[in-house]
Amino acid sequence: MKLYTAPYAPNPRRVVMFLAEKGVTDVDLVNVDLPKGEHRAADFRAKSPLAQVPTLELDDGRTLTESRAICGYLESLYPEPNLMGADAFERAEIEMWDRRAELLLAMPMMMWVRHGSPLLAAVEKNQSPDIAAYYEKQAARMAQWFDRELASRPWIAGQRFTIADITAACGMDFAKMMRWRPGDELPNLARWRAAFAERAAGKVGA
C-alpha cells in the first residue's frame, strides 16, 4: 500500500501517527508537494478526485481518502494495539471524543493557521484575517474546555490512548505555525501533550 501525504499537513500526519502507534512499517509514504500544486495534477486526481491528502492506495489500485476513513480501514487490518474501541460502547465513546477533538479543537486551529499564516498563502489563496481571528477565538475557547476535561483523566477519551489523542495533537501541533502551545494557563493540556510526545505517535515529525 501507498499513503500519499504532505509534510506539515495535519490530516496526513494524523494517519502517519496512527501507523506509528500501530507499529506498521509496510505502508510506503509518498510525499505530495502542495505548494507546487502536485495534488492538482491529473494523475493524482485520478487517485483523489478532490485533490486531497491523505490518500491511501491499495495494492489493487483502489483508493481511500479522508483521514478518519483511512484510519478505520487500517484499524481493521492491524487491530492491535486497539485505538478505536474494543466493544460497541467503547467504539462509540471513542468516536464521540474523536469527533469532538476534530470538529471542536483541531478544525478551528487548522482554519486559524490556514487563514492566518503567511507561510500558507501559496496553498490557501483566499486567506482572510477575519476568518483567522474568528477561529483563533474558537480554538482558544475549546482549548480551555479540553483542559478542564483532562483534569479528570490522562487521555482525551478516557484512561487509555486512542485515535482521539492523535486527532487533537495534529490540530494543536499545526497551531505551532502561529507560535501557539499550551502553557501555564492550560496545565492539563500541556501535561497531556508532554505524555503524548513520549509515545510512538508523538515521535512523528511535523
Residue 16 and residue 59: Cα distance in Å, rounded? 18
Q: What is the mean pLDDT of residues 26-54?
A: 94
* Domain 2-77 bears CATH identifier 3.40.30.10: yes
119: pLDDT confidence band, cut at 50, 70 and 90?
confident
Residue 206 and residue 189: Cα distance in Å, rounded? 19
Alpha helices in 78-186 (DSSP H): 88-100, 107-116, 129-149, 163-174
Which letter, b or e, does each residue of 168-181 get, where b requires 16 or more Cβ atoms within 10 Å of its Cβ? bbbbbbbbebeebe
* Residues forming beta bridges with residue 64, ordered by sequence position: 56
- Is the pLDDT at 161 greater than 70, yes or no? yes
* Structural contact between residues 20 and 204, judged by C-beta atoms closer than 8 angstroms: yes
- For 88-203, CATH number? 1.20.1050.10
Q: Which three cell numbers stand for residue 133?
A: 481571528
Tell me how far CA of residue 34 lies from CA of 164, 185, 186, in angstroms.
26, 35, 33
Q: What is the mean pLDDT of residues 27-32?
A: 96
Residue 74 and residue 169: Cα distance in Å, rounded? 19
* Structural contact between residues 93 and 157, judged by C-beta atoms closer than 8 angstroms: yes
* Structural contact between residues 23 and 199, judged by C-beta atoms closer than 8 angstroms: no
Listed by start position, the domains of the chain span 2-77, 88-203
Q: What is the mean pLDDT of residues 49-55?
A: 95
* Structural contact between residues 169 and 175, judged by C-beta atoms closer than 8 angstroms: no
Q: Which three cell numbers stand for residue 92?
A: 462509540
* Structural contact between residues 53 and 6, judged by C-beta atoms closer than 8 angstroms: yes
Reported as a single tens digit per residue, the pLDDT across 56-83 is 999 999 999 999 999 999 999 999 999 9
